[in-house]
């Protein structure tokens, strides 16, 4: 019988769900204690307070090179009345760290000593008791508490423990987590050749991502073999896990409302569902259950949803078990470069790229799909939109949680505008020489790039806007849209733009005119992109109306996305650059060679980072890499273009 779909009737806010979680489980006393050698204890949490066995230092030690003396015999010494001391009778040579001789309590620094002969010295100033001496217990006193229980050992702690005569410590065992990946569509990456991956099959990655996240929190994980969408098998795996020594069980996938989502049912078979559905996005379908007083989670299958569900629920639970505070990320105030819409009643986690432009940190939103793992790998921060707001205004300062150090944000060159494959090459070339510097590009089309410059949202923009009146690129648009901005226009590349088609061109497409054929499906670029302007210009020349083209209103934001749409068979063709077609082994029908330039406001032009960028694009190494991509000419790369 076909399983009915779940309906989210009683979703909880994030605050409510976390309160339920921590009220339901008291896990801090469920961990065993183990003893580990001190050098291997870094990152572990102490299960008991630690007291020093010995003092450090455990003898009076010279803190300077010089002569050890009884301080009293030096009193009265001055430049006008120097005192003479006898070596090995009144004064004894010592080096830093040496045991102080009996009946001495100070060290005269060697540079303050005047040697008269082999047996006598002269001093012109007194020393006071214990001057330049490390007394017994100066650092650590035997029996004093070095660290309390629940203290996490750091590399610095290792030195203190060993110096205090502690060579092994009792620590809490790492919480043990079972991760059960489920889904009839997922396959193990180490069991399949990529060429044998069939449509509908998905490489299972979530268990490894969440498992390593668990390890970074101080836990350890065991990965169960993949289970198909079969309630009985999932139920058996959970039942076995709760009877073993696992503290937390994660069921990956199957937490949503579909007919083959079994996480909730598997929990209900043996225990209680405490929460099903939380008003966060991504991560809404998360399930929190209790089976024999152990927390069992149903984690959403989309990667970003899975990560956010883990970070909001599982990670703080692990910290709680280890007696550690849940570490909050550092935040910084940022200005979104455009409006960010959101749904009322849902707390949204928006991944953003960050960069310091002028005196502000600007935030450019990344794709918001729950399945876009790259929206996290490319993100510098996360903006949380509260559930009582419908979104954020552009330029309105809001806090962002940092995923990278603020120093790296300050060392980021922000480029917004048209997509081009050479920007990835440029980013890598810069990084290879200047490891502290990052080039962050966001693809919003050429017009979007110029608007970002106007709003102060980037350091430079990539543009290839064709003036259909005179055939020039970019200059007329800069004059029209940025009339009050002083701009430097730098040529990056000439590139071949054309129609990307399947290998061997099965539909026999010959040019733009074929887009009006009824048997041709097309994918367009977004409005405001240079590629879209070029297409509209060509259609006007040919007398073709946009409505005649099947797919004209379907849009992608990058040339590679257009190429992927063709490769996957979603469409027959799309307008893009030759390098994108070559990268995916597709065929290419040339339409035009166009000019792609960098638009740089004067206020950023003289900065060190922009000068490094210009130095890089003028290098032969960069030009050679660009030429190897195919479809590019670097004949005028780095040249300045007059816009007066």
Under the banding of pLDDT at 50, 70 and 90, the label for residue 196 is confident
- Give the chain's domains with CATH numbers: 14-28+175-321 (3.40.980.10), 33-56+139-172 (3.90.105.10), 61-134 (2.170.190.11), 331-410 (2.40.340.10), 447-641 (3.40.190.10)
When the pLDDT of each residue in the chain is averaged and rounded to a whole number, the result is 93
pLDDT greater than 80 at residue 27 = no
pLDDT greater than 60 at residue 497 = yes
| C-alpha distances out from residue 541 to 70, 513, 525, 593, Å | 102, 10, 19, 17
Strand partners, 74: none
Q: Is 407 exposed, middle or buried (0-12, 13-18, 19+ CB in 10 A)?
A: exposed
Query: What number is the average pLDDT over the span 414-425?
Result: 94
Are the C-beta atoms of 286 and 279 separated by less than 8 Å?
no
| C-alpha distances out from residue 624 to 112, 374, 527, 617, 620, Å | 65, 28, 32, 10, 6
3-state secondary structure of 297: strand
pLDDT greater than 60 at residue 3 = no
3-state secondary structure of 194: helix
- pLDDT given at position 8: 56
The least confident of 234-248, 250-264, 335-349 is: 250-264
Q: Pick from 476, 432, 507: which is nearest to 597 by CA? A: 476
Separation CA 225–CA 362 (nearest Å): 43
Q: Is 643 exposed, middle or buried (0-12, 13-18, 19+ CB in 10 A)?
A: middle
Residue 360's contacts (CB-CB under 8 Å, 6 or more residues apart) are 334, 335, 397, 456
- pLDDT given at position 428: 96
Which two three-digit tokens encode residue 574? Answer: 């799309």
Find the Cα–Cα–Cα–Cα dihedral 447, 450, 455, 459, rounded to 10°: 130
Diameter over CA atoms, the chain: 111
pLDDT greater than 50 at residue 1 = no
The DSSP result for 280-291, as a single string, is: EES-TT-EEEEE
Half-sphere exposure of residue 217: CA atoms within 13 angstroms, side-chain side: 31
Separation CA 75–CA 83 (nearest Å): 9
3-state secondary structure of 39: helix
pLDDT greater than 60 at residue 258 = no
Separation CA 197–CA 186 (nearest Å): 10
Query: What number is the average pLDDT over the span 185-207?
Result: 89
Under the banding of pLDDT at 50, 70 and 90, the label for residue 460 is very high
Q: Pick from 288, 205, 251: which is nearest to 22 by CA? A: 288
pLDDT greater than 70 at residue 233 = yes
Q: Is 312 exposed, middle or buried (0-12, 13-18, 19+ CB in 10 A)?
A: buried
Are the C-beta atoms of 558 and 443 separated by less than 8 Å?
yes
Query: What number is the average pLDDT over the span 3-32?
Result: 79
pLDDT greater than 60 at residue 4 = no
231-249 b/e with 16+ CB inside 10 Å = b? eeebbebbeebbeeebbbb
pLDDT greater than 90 at residue 300 = yes
- The label of the residue with tokens 């966060």 reads 280
Strand partners, 402: 381
Q: Is 526 exposed, middle or buried (0-12, 13-18, 19+ CB in 10 A)?
A: middle
The pLDDT tens digits of the residues spanning 503-556 come to: 999 999 999 999 999 999 999 999 889 999 999 999 999 999 999 999 999 999
The more confident residue out of 370 and 430 is 430
3-state secondary structure of 530: helix
Are the C-beta atoms of 92 and 128 separated by less than 8 Å?
no
Phi and psi at residue 448, to the nearest 5°: -60, -35
Tell whether omega for the bond before 632 is within 30 degrees of 0, i.e. cis. no
Under the banding of pLDDT at 50, 70 and 90, the label for residue 415 is very high
Under the banding of pLDDT at 50, 70 and 90, the label for residue 232 is very high
Under the banding of pLDDT at 50, 70 and 90, the label for residue 104 is very high
Q: Pick from 246, 358, 230: which is nearest to 294 by CA? A: 246
Under the banding of pLDDT at 50, 70 and 90, the label for residue 156 is very high
The pLDDT tens digits of the residues spanning 327-376 come to: 889 999 999 988 899 999 999 999 999 999 999 999 999 888 877 888 89
pLDDT greater than 70 at residue 2 = no
Which two three-digit tokens encode residue 623? Answer: 């030009």
Under the banding of pLDDT at 50, 70 and 90, the label for residue 5 is low
Separation CA 442–CA 388 (nearest Å): 28
The DSSP result for 377-421, as a single string, is: HS-SEEEEE-TT-SEE-TT--EEEEESS-HHHHHTEEEEEES--T
Strand partners, 335: 362
Are the C-beta atoms of 439 and 415 separated by less than 8 Å?
yes
Query: What number is the average pLDDT over the span 550-577?
Result: 95
């Amino acid at each position: 019988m076909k399983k009915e779909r779940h309906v989210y009737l009683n979703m909880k806010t994030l605050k409510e769900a976390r309160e339920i979680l921590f009220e339901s489980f008291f896990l801090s006393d469920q961990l065993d204690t183990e003893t580990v050698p001190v050098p291997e204890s870094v990152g572990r949490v102490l299960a008991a307070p630690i007291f020093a066995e010995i003092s450090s230092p455990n003898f009076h030690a010279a803190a300077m090179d010089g002569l050890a003396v009884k301080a009293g015999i030096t009193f009265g010494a001055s430049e006008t009345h120097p005192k003479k001391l006898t070596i090995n009778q009144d004064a004894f040579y010592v080096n830093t760290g040496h045991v102080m001789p009996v009946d001495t309590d100070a060290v005269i620094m060697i540079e303050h000593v005047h040697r008269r002969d082999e047996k006598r010295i002269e001093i012109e100033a007194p020393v006071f008791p214990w001057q330049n001496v490390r007394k017994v217990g100066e650092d650590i006193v035997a029996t004093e508490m070095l660290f309390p229980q629940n203290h996490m050992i750091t590399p610095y702690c290792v030195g203190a423990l060993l110096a205090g005569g502690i060579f092994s410590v009792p620590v809490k065992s790492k919480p043990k987590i079972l991760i059960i990946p489920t889904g009839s569509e997922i396959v193990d990456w180490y069991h399949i050749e990529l060429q044998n991956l069939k449509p509908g099959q998905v490489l299972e990655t979530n268990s490894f991502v969440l498992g390593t996240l668990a390890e970074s929190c101080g836990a350890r994980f065991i990965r169960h073999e993949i289970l198909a969408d079969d309630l009985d098998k999932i139920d058996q795996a959970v039942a076995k896990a709760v009877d073993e020594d696992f503290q937390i069980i994660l069921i990956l996938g199957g937490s949503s409302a579909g007919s083959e989502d079994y996480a909730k049912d598997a929990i209900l078979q043996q225990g209680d569902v405490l929460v099903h559905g939380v008003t966060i996005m991504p991560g809404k379908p998360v399930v929190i259950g209790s089976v024999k007083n152990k927390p069992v989670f149903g984690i959403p299958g989309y990667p970003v949803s899975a990560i956010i569900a883990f970070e909001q629920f599982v990670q703080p639970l692990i910290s709680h078990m280890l007696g550690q505070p849940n570490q909050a990320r550092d935040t910084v105030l940022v200005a979104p470069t455009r409006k960010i819409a959101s749904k009322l009643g849902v707390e949204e986690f928006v991944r953003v790229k960050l960069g310091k432009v002028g005196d502000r940190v600007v935030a450019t939103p990344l794709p918001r799909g729950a399945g876009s793992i790259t929206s996290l790998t490319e993100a510098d921060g996360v903006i949380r939109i509260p559930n009582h707001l419908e979104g954020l205004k552009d330029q309105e300062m809001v806090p962002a949680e940092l995923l990278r150090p603020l120093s790296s944000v300050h060392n980021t060159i922000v480029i917004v505008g048209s997509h081009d494959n050479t920007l990835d090459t440029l980013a890598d070339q810069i990084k290879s020489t200047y490891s502290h510097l990052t080039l962050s590009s966001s693809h919003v089309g050429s017009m979007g790039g110029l608007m970002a410059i106007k709003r102060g949202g980037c350091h430079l923009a990539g543009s290839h806007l064709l003036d259909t009146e005179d055939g020039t690129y970019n200059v007329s648009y800069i004059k029209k849209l940025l009339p009050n901005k002083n701009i430097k226009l730098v040529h990056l590349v000439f590139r071949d733009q054309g129609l990307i088609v399947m290998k061997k061109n099965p539909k026999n497409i010959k040019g733009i005119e074929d887009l009006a054929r009824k048997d041709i499906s097309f994918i367009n670029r977004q409005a405001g992109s240079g590629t879209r302007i070029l297409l509209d210009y060509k259609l006007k020349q040919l007398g073709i109306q946009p409505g005649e083209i099947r797919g004209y209103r379907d849009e992608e934001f990058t040339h590679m996305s257009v190429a992927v749409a063709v490769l996957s068979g979603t469409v027959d063709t799309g307008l893009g650059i030759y390098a994108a077609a070559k990268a995916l082994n597709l065929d290419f029908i040339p339409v035009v060679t166009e000019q792609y330039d960098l638009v740089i406001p004067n206020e950023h032009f003289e900065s060190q980072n922009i000068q490094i960028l210009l130095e890089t694009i003028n290098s032969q190494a960069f030009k050679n890499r660009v030429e190897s991509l195919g479809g590019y000419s670097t004949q005028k790369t780095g040249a300045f273009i007059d816009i007066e």
